[in-house]
Structure 1
Amino acid sequence: MKPTKGKRSGARIAKGRTQHVKGSRKAKAKRIDSKPGRPVKAARKPARASNTKTAGANRRAKPVTPARSESATPRPGASALLGRFDVAIVGGGPGGSTLAALLRNQGRSVCIVERVKFPRFRIGESLLPFSIDIWKKSGVLQKIHDIGFMVKRGARFVIDETLEEECFWFKNGLDKDHPYAFQVQRADFDKVLLDHAADRGARVFQPLSATSFLARPDKAILETKEGRIEAQVVCDVSGRWTFMSSRQGQRKVHPTHRKVTAFNHFTNVVRCEQDPSNIIIVRFGDTRMGWFWLIPFSDGTTSVGVVADAEYYRQAQLSPEQFLWKSIKESRAMEPRMRHAVACGEYRSEADFSFTSDRHVADRLIKVGDAGAFIDPVFSSGVFLSTKAAELAAEALDKAFAVNDFSERMFQDYEQKIRSGTAVFWAFIDAFYNRDFLKQMVTSRRRPLLQSSITSLLAGDIYNMDNALITYLTGKGGAFADEEMKALVG
């Protein structure tokens, strides 16, 4: 039975059917089961080394020798078999490589399918302290330190029109155990994480593009341009490429947060006076106009960019270079810092359209990080949310392998956690675009509890429901739900 066609090139997934996303090859979708919630189990266990525990064992499996690609004579019309793994990951960025390392710690055989060769340029260069524990767990933290990235101790926020400002030091958050993060050039940083996953035993296919996904009763099939990969589960960690959501027609752009950014790297930029390692965020214009970032690196260069409404950018009809410099020259806070700056890279622009997906999980499928949702990057949340999602996905997969059940219902708790964490950042972002709340941010020194609560959110402590600011901003009441706090968010 063929799957029902969706709005785009993919297929709408109905209960009781396989998930089939059209790619360069066609595959017949077979019915899994008409009863919702029935476990989807593997017909056989994947091959493991002799010291590996079985999938249903109570104790955690020991690391195994990485799986090799298996050659097979393809059936007439079938693609070549590249290999069989417990988990196939689409995307080798921070989320994908972190997930691979965590799964290897569980003893799972893992492959990563990455469509471009590393190193490659990316923005999203300022990281959050609550990622540190995850990288320590994956085993890569010392390697990050060894590269010599700039240590980030805080964030400075400035209102452009009034030059009011405040610096938030991570050591002063509600949680005192996460005092720092890093400022990184993503080309180097992402390669460190991917190389670490390979060192841990993950098989990396690079450069190689995934083309389609099919969930069957006994396995998942990931088609690529060079052949197929068979696994128990496929994890889409493809970033804003959204390998699965785009094909399923589930990528929903946020109706109001439609932004465009123009940026470059520079020398001779005036950095934060309190601490030159701090990121600076400058808010300008009316309630929906935009903001600047200034991110310092250890080699003396600085990433500088402007984020503005897409319509405002379109009407300007300027190149990325022209738009960035026009915005800088009109800024009271940025113009003095950039007066002697010299560009040392290529001027670029990207559409930072915030979006989400209808679903983050399905039978034999988990979406991780930006592949499932992307939010306004004003609080440098992108890499953190992807890394945190990788940790949560690894936990969900560990439970699924323990009972040999890879149906959608096994991943519902993961989806709920992802949506609740993203909702906290969304509430914080909406507050940032409110003039009254921004005013309270830059004058929060006189209210120590408010400042500590804001600092904790800036550090990525989004699941701490003891933070009264979280309970207030997400509409759940709490200690800040008084007349003064109500005025902050309108």
Structure 2
Amino acid sequence: MQDINPSYDCVVIGGGPAGSTAAALVAEAGHSVLLVEREKMPREHVGESLMPESYWVFERLGVLEQLTASRFSRKVGVQFVNNTGRESQPFFFRSHDPRPCSETWHVDRAEFDKMLFDNAATKGAHTRDEVRAVDIVMEDGRATGVHLAHEGGTEHRVSTKVVIDASGQQTLLAGKLGIRRVNPELKKAAVWRHYRGAQRDESGGGVKTIILHTSDKKAWFWYIPQSDDLVSVGCVADNDYLLKGRGKPEQTFQEELAKCSGVLERVADAEAMDDLRVAKEFSYMTEQSAGDGWVLVGDAWGFIDPVYSSGVYFALQSACLAADAVSEGLQQGDTSAAQLGKWEPEFKAATNSVRKLVHAFYSGEFRVGKFVSEHPHHHGNLTDLLIGRIFKPGVATMFDDLDPWLQQQIAESNSGDAV
């Protein structure tokens, strides 16, 4: 690793959307930055559907033109299908807000992540793939360096003023410090694959993310049309239900698919790709977002759930906020925990709206169409949350009505009165 300098103002661990965004912005502010990714870029990754509010991060990074000219499928809305197969009216984003920022893309994560990784280099970051962060050097409670290992086996230490951990669900620093906490109410697992030639509804000028429940409501499927005539289809359920005491993941996937007529119909004439994958217990938070000389962003900070496709947007937004705090701290000579983590309380409060929406979904009684028909004044707030406008004033007022409404639906279901 002779081409890696012995010291940098900032070392960013992880070349996903969060790491590449943070590295690009800190480097653009005039600081020396090293961005390392342990795998060879491009690399495969799940998480194809974006939230429209990512637009503003893309604009700041200067990649909107690339995305607009890309082959990625344009995402124009979200639709829900309940356990009986009844479809909600689609939430078309442009019907709520006609601006270009109200639509986004279903991306190929390998290609998308590589685009952002290369953009970080364009902005001045020193980018290296196939370089693994083995450990964070801590001195008197402060992060002062990173131990790196090249794929060839060479290891050395790089000193730095700030470490940005964007290592994703590897959660390097959170694991080292013992601050990662799995959400006991969201111990979920996912099994997914791609299909070629599955149905694509482009009636709204693009494709939609479709969320479908199985007939017994024990699992749900995502249905995400992508480019190259591919559709990502994934099944999510409680970890114990999906992965314990059952057959191989392929068998489990087929068993759950048989209970979801909406997906079965859409893939009936399609070819299943040989790329079945499994992930589990991916919902967690960290007790601390920053310390002296370090800060967590993206999935290294936390991950809620895949149901509303919030993961990449939260990664991008947290990286932007953290990058600004890091740049300011480096300029002022203040890389304390208070400075590097100053953005996190507001961000955490804003993301809590999506967290509450996730818990509503998993109650099993959140019938989106029914709620909106009974509370039409919240259609805009719900659409805003699906777009990702979590910082919009008043958006969380929806829960003043949703929470008691949901409790009523659950009570009626338990008493057998639900229709």
Give the TM-score normalised by structure 2. 0.89
Question: Which residue is 1:444 aligned to?
Answer: 372
Shift of 1:358: 1.1
Distance 1:316 1:136, change over 3 A: same
Q: Does 1:366 align with 2:295?
A: yes
Q: Deviations over 1:373-424 (max 9, x none)?
A: 1111100011010000011101211321232100112134222123213322
Distance 1:183 1:281, change over 3 A: same
Which amino acid is 1:121 matched to? E
Question: Which residue is 1:463 aligned to?
Answer: 391
Mind listing any 5+ residue stretches in structure 2 that lack a counterpart? 150-154, 412-419
Picking from 179, 183, 206, the partner of 1:250 is: 179
Picking from 179, 201, 223, the partner of 1:294 is: 223
Separation (CA, whole Å) in 2 of partners of 1:164 and 1:206: 44
Shift of 1:103: 1.5
Separation (CA, whole Å) in 2 of partners of 1:91 and 1:98: 11
Separation (CA, whole Å) in 2 of partners of 1:483 and 1:330: 30
| SS of alignment partner, residue 9 of structure 2 | strand
Question: Which residue is 1:129 aligned to?
Answer: 52
Question: Which residue is 1:341 aligned to?
Answer: 270
Separation (CA, whole Å) in 1 of partners of 2:335 and 2:283: 30
Shift of 1:159: 0.3
Distance 1:483 1:416, change over 3 A: closer
Which amino acid is 1:127 matched to? L
| SS of alignment partner, residue 308 of structure 1 | strand
Question: Which residue is 1:221 aligned to?
Answer: 145
| SS of alignment partner, residue 406 of structure 1 | coil
Mind listing any 5+ residue stretches in structure 1 that lack a counterpart? 1-68, 72-80
Picking from 209, 217, 222, the partner of 1:279 is: 209
Separation (CA, whole Å) in 2 of partners of 1:99 and 1:199: 13
Distance 1:329 1:201, change over 3 A: same
Shift of 1:451: 1.7
Distance 1:380 1:489, change over 3 A: farther
Question: Which residue is 1:54 aligned to?
Answer: none
Separation (CA, whole Å) in 2 of partners of 1:320 and 1:482: 35
Question: Which residue is 2:130 aligned to?
Answer: 207
Distance 1:285 1:311, change over 3 A: farther
Separation (CA, whole Å) in 2 of partners of 1:486 and 1:346: 40
| SS of alignment partner, residue 102 of structure 2 | coil
Picking from 114, 117, 142, the partner of 1:191 is: 114
Question: Which residue is 1:305 aligned to?
Answer: 234
Separation (CA, whole Å) in 2 of partners of 1:405 and 1:328: 53
Which amino acid is 1:89 matched to? V
Distance 1:419 1:294, change over 3 A: same
Picking from 34, 38, 42, the partner of 1:115 is: 38
| SS of alignment partner, residue 163 of structure 1 | coil
Question: Which residue is 2:414 aligned to?
Answer: none
Separation (CA, whole Å) in 2 of partners of 1:324 and 1:390: 34
Picking from 243, 247, 266, the partner of 1:318 is: 247
Separation (CA, whole Å) in 2 of partners of 1:316 and 1:340: 31
CA contact (8 A) 2:223 2:232 kept: yes
Question: Which residue is 1:398 aligned to?
Answer: 327
Q: What is the aligned length?
A: 404
Shift of 1:82: 3.8
Question: Which residue is 2:8 aligned to?
Answer: 85
Residue identity (%): 31
Separation (CA, whole Å) in 1 of partners of 2:113 and 2:7: 25
Separation (CA, whole Å) in 2 of partners of 1:373 and 1:396: 19
Shift of 1:483: 6.2
Question: Which residue is 1:378 aligned to?
Answer: 307
Distance 1:250 1:487, change over 3 A: same
Shift of 1:372: 1.4
Give the TM-score normalised by structure 1. 0.77
Shift of 1:481: 7.4
Separation (CA, whole Å) in 2 of partners of 1:219 and 1:485: 45
Separation (CA, whole Å) in 2 of partners of 1:185 and 1:442: 34
Distance 1:435 1:380, change over 3 A: same
Separation (CA, whole Å) in 1 of partners of 2:325 and 2:409: 38
Q: Deviations over 1:155-199 (max 9, x none)?
A: 111102242422111123479563201001111111111011112
Shift of 1:448: 4.0
Separation (CA, whole Å) in 2 of partners of 1:363 and 1:335: 52
Shift of 1:239: 0.3
Which amino acid is 1:304 matched to? V
| SS of alignment partner, residue 281 of structure 1 | strand
